[in-house]
Chains A and B, each alone.
Chain A
Amino acid sequence: MDASLRWHDELMTGLPILSILLAVPLIGGGACLFVSANAARWIALAATLLDLLLGIWLWSAFEIGGPQWQFVEYQKMAFSPFAWALGIDGIALMLTMLSLFLMPICILASWTTIERRVPEYMAAFLAMETMMIGVFMAQDIFLFYIFFEAGLIPMFLIIGIWGGAERIYASYKFFLYTLLGSVLMLVAMLWMVNFTHGDTYIPHLLATNFPPEAQTWLWLAFFASFAVKMPMWPVHTWLPDAHVQAPTAGSVILAGVLLKLGGYGFVRFSLPMFPEASAQLVWIIFGLSLVAIVYTSLVALVQRDMKKLIAYSSVAHMAFVTIGLFTFNRQGIEGALIMMLSHGLVSGALFLCVGVVYDRLHTREIDRYGGLSNNMPAYALLFMLFTMASVGLPGTSGFVGEFLSLVGAYRASSLVAFVATSGIILGAAYMLYLYWRVAFGTSRNADAAAMPDLNPRELVSLGAIAAVVLWMGVYPESFLAPMRGDVGTLIARVERAAPPGDSGLVRTAHAGKREGAR
């Protein structure tokens, strides 16, 4: 049929590696349900580690500069509205790796803190892993939707059963917000598939030129879904609640991977499928993102709850991602992608840091801590590294992402770049303020001063993330190289609609409109 399908024929002689990656956690999760608590922990750890090893093999086998879609599997199912179509490009590969890397750490973080219903917990987590990496691998639009939505059920249960005091409110809010966003996306998908007379294969849809009038509506429907997942201001309010109430590992997965589904959706669908509408409506993205950067940063400054502070900082950081993605130039998009990876690692690590002290003192209130560098030096060191990475200090992964996306933003609109840069200063303010209150000063509280330093389990988890954060900060090329070709493809696709460069926000929007009408 076309190149990608021939590629598939060659590879079907080999292993269906992507299906195996999906199956391992699912089988492990099923097995967890029938064993004791301790056995469930070990099974979950083994399954996630095995998946990580397979993922590392996948990364090494990925041919940089090769075909856009690799490891393609295509299995038409009889009388089914969708096909079992899997395949990854560089962007999907990196995000899959991020999920695979964070999962064993999440299992370790839940090792002792989860005491009730351990087998069910591990099963929910492993099911979650399958759904998340399935989103990145799906090459059929309805298969994508199924994975995208199915993750709601395990996350709802994780927050609702093992969460904090306000867990029920938070779990409802999480479920209903994200459901409302994605059902509209389903209608848009149905419309698109009807437009192409039943073709659900994403690479084909990527090559389809949808009429510009329809693009606006389709773009808005997809936007409703991805903006909630992202989350963008003003539909971000589910995030602080969900984060604060979820168990530590749940927060890590939420911040680390689930938020990336929104960004991935923008890259995979909104931009390449509706370039005209993207250009025309870029002012919505820029406007909301700028509000988010300034507003949520200010909100983060006054938080008393550590998890809430980091949750608001996530909203601000994801706003950099949306700005970068919609700059229509290489720096911006690559920066946004690195930012997504970096934020996944850094905010995940920060939530783990909160989890470490929460396990000891059972409070997330910042005032109850202080002077932790005295009695927990290793913890203070790692916490500082992640704080710096979150601020965007050169040498850490955060710098690469923020710098590239700001360069991209400056080329698109200097005004946007100007306002967005203020977010970096605010980000430094709230993160340093947090770190100062928690780690420095004299030990104000006796019980906080008596806390022991990191145990080996925590050290391994945080150390592993720290190593990758530094790696990505010092040599980002390892992570950029697989994605470079895909960013090029994306830019070639959206170029015809790209709004003209450095100009005021208003003129950008107008130019986009003219372009769209043409």
Chain B
Amino acid sequence: MLDSLRLTLPELVLSTAALVLLMIPAYVGDRSAKLVTWLAITALAAAAIAIPGYWGPPRSGFGGLFVSDGFATFAKVTIYAGAAVSLIAAMGWFGRDRDYRAEYPILILLSSVGMGMMVSASDLLTLYVGLELQSLAAYVLASFQRQDNRSAEAGLKYFVLGALASGILLYGISLLYGFTGTTLFGDIAHAIGAQKASAAGLSHGTLFGLVFVLAGIAFKVSAVPFHMWTPDVYEGAPTPVTAFFASAPKVAAMALLTRFTVQAAGPATFEWRQIIVFMALASTLLGGVAAIGQPNIKRLLAYSSINNVGFALVGVAAGTAAGVASVLFYMAVYLVMTLGSFLVVLRMRDAEGRPVETIASLAGLSRSRPGLAVAMAAFMFSLAGVPPMLGFWPKFYVFNAAVATNLTWLAAVAIATSVISAYYYLKIVKIMYFDDPAPAYAPTRDVAQSVLIAAAALAVSPIGYYLIVGPLALASANAAGALF
């Protein structure tokens, strides 16, 4: 039991921190919000240090319900980093409007606990509990600005559709349990293998179970056709919350999907690959086409995230160790690019300090705020996947994995759709650099955010290549090795 508990050390750190930190505002009130945020960031750092899976073979606890391996470690470090950055982003942004409250960091901490469980889940029930813990915190976060109608609407929409997705997922879980007799990933894989080896083949019930589970998870990663909530929720939620939604939970859900497809449904790769391939192509295509006409930067980034998820799914479709490594690599780089872009969006406030979200307001940013424009242009070229920017490499690894598994046609079609998405990334560069200046944004003096923007821009620049790609590729390859 103690051994099992030791595996959940990061989750224990975060849960304890969340409960203890909850006491501070209970006595001091919202004045303590900043203090609580910094303490929460410290807790995230402590949790990252406390992860037991940096070295050694995979270890599982609680009778196989929970696993600590290199894969989970990689995902958790990425998730905690994303959560910490979105906390820093939120502090400055809400702080300006004086409606920052101490619940915010605590909700992020609880959500992080859920995400940690998602990526460590080796059982359908752990998976479900982790997913729900993450989602419940996220529903509250979406409606954090409760006086704002759009925020409340986003929270409600997210909750209703999320509940539907949970229902679908649970139905799939029950089917899988019914037709394989177990909820453990490893045993499901054995059962599927046995069914496929038998004369009757894979039973329809198992297949339906797989489809429903994949559909439920697809909702969480917002892959087409389960993406409908994304633009609305991203637009309605307060911007720092959107930044959070687009980063850490995406990594967690993608890692969960990868682990499920490889460890539980590995023997049925041929069956689920068609689903993943369809979702990948539909996501890259819709994420590219639908974003073109968006006047709102948050909606545009929402479609951009759908688009990126599509590319990561190409790596999932490969189903090999190289494919899994490429997914992890993709999500880590995606996290940097997306958080960087959102940090720039957080700077968008008109002269009176009200937040602006129109793309048109970026016009001529290269003259009013050259530094900010350079950073945003770097993120956009990087998201478009143009070498020598960092964003080229995740696409490179994903397509390389697909080509190596004889999915060359998938790589060719997906990469062709990437040209569509390049159009709207270019549009933002064009607006910032080629158009006549719009009214300048209000000045900001948030050192922590400026440092983060500069660091992210440096990371996606060609200079970042030397610092990041090599170690990251090695780490993701090691992490992927844990699943095979």
Contacts and interface: CB of A to CB of B under 8 A. Distances in A.
Interface of A: 77-81, 142, 145-146, 149-150, 152-153, 156-157, 160-161, 167-168, 171-172, 175-176, 179-180, 183-184, 186-187, 190-191, 193-194, 221
B403 A79 contact: no
Interface stretch (B162-170, B344-352, B409-417): B409-417
A183 B396 contact: no
Contact of B434 (A77, A142, A150, A160): A160
A299 B408 CA distance: 39
Contact of A180 (B400, B419, B434): B419
A194 B430 contact: no
A77 B470 contact: yes
Given A80-B469, A161-B433, A190-B400, A183 B386 contact: no
A186 B408 CA distance: 11
A145 B403 CA distance: 17
A313 to B, nearest CB: 29
A175 B422 contact: yes
Given A145-B387, A183-B415, A191-B408, A81 B434 contact: no
A221 B408 CA distance: 12
Contact of B399 (A78, A149, A186): A186
Contacts of A179: 386, 419, 422
B19 interface: no
Interface in B442-484: 469-471, 473-474
A79 B400 contact: no
B284 to A, nearest CB: 12
Given A77-B470, A157-B433, 16 more contacts: A79-B470, A80-B473, A142-B396, A146-B392, A152-B386, A161-B433, A172-B423, A172-B426, A176-B426, A179-B419, A183-B415, A183-B418, A184-B412, A187-B399, A187-B408, A193-B400
B234 interface: no
A160 B388 contact: no
A29 B474 CA distance: 33
B403 A191 contact: yes
> Which of B397, B403, B423, B471 has the most chain A CB atoms inside 10 A of its CB?
B403
A152 B392 CA distance: 14
Contact of A160 (B422, B430, B470): B430
Contacts of A146: 387-388, 392
Interface string B374-411: 00000001000011100010001101100110001001
Interface of B: 381, 386-388, 392, 396-397, 399-400, 403-404, 408, 411-412, 415-416, 418-419, 422-423, 426, 429-430, 433-434, 469-471, 473-474
B396 A81 contact: yes
Nearest to A79: B470
Contacts of B433: 157, 160-161
B88 to A, nearest CB: 29
Given A146-B387, A180-B416, A167 B470 contact: no
B118 to A, nearest CB: 28
A490 to B, nearest CB: 27
A461 B387 CA distance: 33
A26 to B, nearest CB: 10
Given A190-B399, A191-B408, A156 B387 contact: no
Given A149-B387, A160-B433, A161-B433, A175 B403 contact: no
A80 B470 contact: yes
The interface centre, meaning the residue of B386, B429, B469 with most chain A CB atoms within 10 A of its CB, is B386
Nearest to A149: B387
Interface of B is mostly: helix
Contacts of A221: 412
A229 to B, nearest CB: 15
B471 to A, nearest CB: 7
Given A81-B400, A152-B386, A175-B426, A183 B470 contact: no
Contacts of B471: 79
Nearest to A77: B470
A221 B403 CA distance: 14
Contact of B381 (A142, A153, A191, A193): A153
18 contacts: A79-B470, A142-B396, A146-B387, A152-B386, A153-B386, A160-B433, A161-B434, A168-B430, A172-B430, A176-B419, A184-B416, A186-B396, A187-B399, A187-B411, A187-B415, A190-B400, A194-B400, A194-B404
Contact of B403 (A149, A176, A183, A194): A194
A339 B386 CA distance: 31
Contacts of A78: 470
B408 A150 contact: no
B434 A168 contact: yes
Given A79-B474, A160-B433, A194-B400, A183 B416 contact: yes
A423 B462 CA distance: 44
B168 to A, nearest CB: 34
A157 B373 CA distance: 13
- Tell me which of B387, B433, B434 has the highest count of chain A C-beta atoms within 10 A of its own C-beta: B387
Contacts of A194: 400, 403-404
A263 to B, nearest CB: 22
A190 B434 CA distance: 35
Nearest to B475: A79
A283 B319 CA distance: 40
B377 to A, nearest CB: 9
A100 B234 CA distance: 49
B422 A176 contact: yes
Contacts of A80: 469-470, 473
A237 B308 CA distance: 30
Nearest to B367: A117
A67 B381 CA distance: 40
A175 B434 CA distance: 15
Given A184-B412, A190-B411, A176 B396 contact: no
Nearest to B465: A80
A191 B405 CA distance: 10
B416 to A, nearest CB: 6
A153 B422 CA distance: 12
Contacts of A145: 387
A221 B412 CA distance: 9
